[in-house]
Amino acid sequence: MLRQFVHKGGRVIVVGHGHCEWTMRCLSACSPYVTDWTAVSRHATMSFPDPTRVKVLHNGIDTDRCRPTRTRDEVRVEWGARPDEIMVGYVGRLSAEKNPLAVVDAAEALGPPYRAVLVGGGPGTDWFVGEARKRLPNTIHQPPVEQVGDVYRALDCFILASPSEGFSLALAEAWYCGCPTVATPVGATELTEEHGPLAVEVPINPTADQLAEAVRGAISPENRPVVERAAQVVATHYTATAMCRRWREYLTTPLNPIVGRRFVSSSPLSLMTR
């Protein structure tokens, strides 16, 4: 059907949301039917057969999810955290490609009063939480929540230690919420090239000592201007509303005459069809 559609002059736009071997296989398989390639970040373009053909349209966060509904103290009391503890956390899917146990590495290297927090779920939840508590019995685990703004404001530092990302919405949410961040150089961290430093960077597969040093830097008073700039950058450029503006401009240019066609989405791709 897609082949006939393209033959008749239709356009098929594929949107890449990730960067991994599975995504690369999916993109390669559909390439005969594609007229236009787009991706949510430059990092995500590396999954495409020809990255030079890919238009980057950066992702955007749902700011309603980031709106706080409870105070920082209320959330931390619910977690069982003491007022003097420094919460180092990860928010998202608990799976190997996200490296969520990096927060445990950091908290273990830092020692008290630092404490690890895992917020998320998925098929691997029991294993990851069990491994975390073998090393640090006081590790906090919370299931996924809709209002992630409450979580980011209760944390003292968010760690994204993924070896690869398309565009981490969790990282952008943390920025928007004013949470100090530590991140590997993947996905949304490319925004630092345009806007300046937004997170304290660690290498891919960071050591516990590298993570600990980065956390200290992230929560330091000297890093506060970076945290504030990150919040302003996301609020201005990387919300869902801003993302829609980018897509509207892309879809309404003379080179992309496909306004009014139906949008069908399936992870990790989105196919634009009639």
- Write out pLDDT tens, residues 19-31: 667 677 777 777 7
63-237 belongs to which homologous superfamily?
Glycogen Phosphorylase B; (3.40.50.2000)
Percent of the residues in the chain that have a pLDDT greater than 70, as a whole number: 88
- 77 or 253, higher pLDDT: 77
Flag whether pLDDT at 53 surpasses 90. Answer: no
pLDDT at 18 > cutoff 90:
no
Residue 120's CB is within 10 A of a number of other CB atoms, namely 24
Question: Residue 4 — pLDDT band, cuts 50, 70, 90?
Answer: very low
For the stretch 226-252, pLDDT in tens is 999 999 999 999 999 999 999 999 988
Cα separation, 135 vs 219, in Å, equals 24
Average pLDDT over residues 21-46: 80
Q: What is the 3-state secondary structure (H, E, C) of 121-132?
A: CCCCHHHHHHHH
Helices 224-237 + 169-176 axis angle, to 10:
110
Other Cβ atoms less than 10 A from the Cβ of 31: the count is 13
Full-model pTM: 0.86
How confident is residue 9, by pLDDT bands cut at 50, 70 and 90?
low
Q: Which residue has the higher pLDDT, 28 or 158?
A: 158
pLDDT beyond 60 at 124? yes
Q: Which pLDDT does position 228 carry in this prediction? A: 98
Answer whether residue 210 shows pLDDT above 50.
Answer: yes
What pLDDT does residue 257 have?
44
In the structure, what pLDDT confidence band is assigned to residue 10 with cuts at 50, 70 and 90? low
Instruction: Sketch the domain layout of the chain as residue ranges.
Output: 2-60+239-272, 63-237
